[in-house]
Amino acid sequence: MTIVLYVVISILCINLILSLYRFVKGPVMPDRIVALDVFAGNLLAILALYAIVSDVREFIDIAVLFSLIAFAGTMTFAYYMVYTGKKKD
Amino acid sequence: MLITWCIPAKKKISIMTLLEIISSVFIITGTFFMLISSIGLIRLPDFYIRNSASTKALALGIGLILFGIVVYYNQIEIFIELSAIFFFIYLITPLSAHIIARAAAKSDVKFWEKTQNLQALEEYRKASDVEENSIPEENKK
């Protein structure tokens, strides 16, 4: 099981780097929001899987709180884009 | 009696290896979907396509990984906590993707040149103008 977990965690770390490519390149602002969303999701999965590798039970509680904060941040971003993005003539 | 004692004992598979095998299957398919989501962020041609594809694959991948972890631990407290995350992610991810796409359509983000049926988008945009429909009248000045 540890071999599978090591391989899986390294694949998820590669996903973090790939989402950062879109964060840097993204020609539009919403591209960066989606890249952060994907980044947060991969980080959540790494956090939950690390709880099995290290036998520390509390990482799953940390994962619960992290998902709440990360997705709330994404929604706040989008809310501000809707209400302050338009230019007033 | 002699013949039955000469037959070698059947190899037993413990419950731990069975749980490990089942959870490994779920975790590996979950990471496969998350890899598809990340590759889709790089290769797809337009913002709207990237938004839709990567958030959907992300939610599915996280769901499968969490289910694999639940199967591995085999306890009820872990199941309750991880099903709370599961419920929250499946509630919030499509909602935030929709809000971001709608905000981008308001801010005139370009479409891919091969999209069809942009006439329907113009009608939708006129029918559901955000600023006029949702600000209460006493706040408009």
C-alpha–C-alpha distance, residues B38 and B50, integer Å: 10
What integer pLDDT is reported at residue B123 of this predicted model?
Answer: 79
Task: State pLDDT tens for residues A30-76.
Answer: 899 999 999 999 999 999 999 999 999 999 999 999 999 998 888 88
Is A81 close to B27, i.e. CB distance below 8 A? no
Question: Taking a contact as any Cβ pair under 8 Å apart, which residues of chain A between 20 and 79 contact chain B?
Answer: 21-22, 28-31, 33-35, 37-38, 41-42, 44-45, 48-49, 51-52, 60-61, 63-64, 67-68, 71, 74-75, 77-79
The residue that leads in pLDDT, B24 or B128, is: B24
- Determine contact: A8 vs chain B, CB below 8 A: yes
In Å, what is the CA distance from B38 to each residue of A80, B29, B57, B82, B111?
A: 26, 15, 9, 23, 21
Within 8 A of A63 by CB-CB distance, chain B residues are: 85
Asked whether the beta carbons of B74 and A52 are under 8 A apart, the reply is no
Within 8 A of B130 by CB-CB distance, chain A residues are: 82-83
Task: State pLDDT tens for residues B62-81.
Answer: 999 999 999 999 899 999 99
Is B47 close to A11, i.e. CB distance below 8 A? no
- The token pair that represents B97 in the structure block: 């993707």
Q: Which DSSP string corresponds to B57-69?
A: HHHHHHHHHHHHH
Give A49 to chain B, closest Cα distance, Å.
7
Helices A59-84 and B76-106 cross at an angle (nearest 10°) of 20
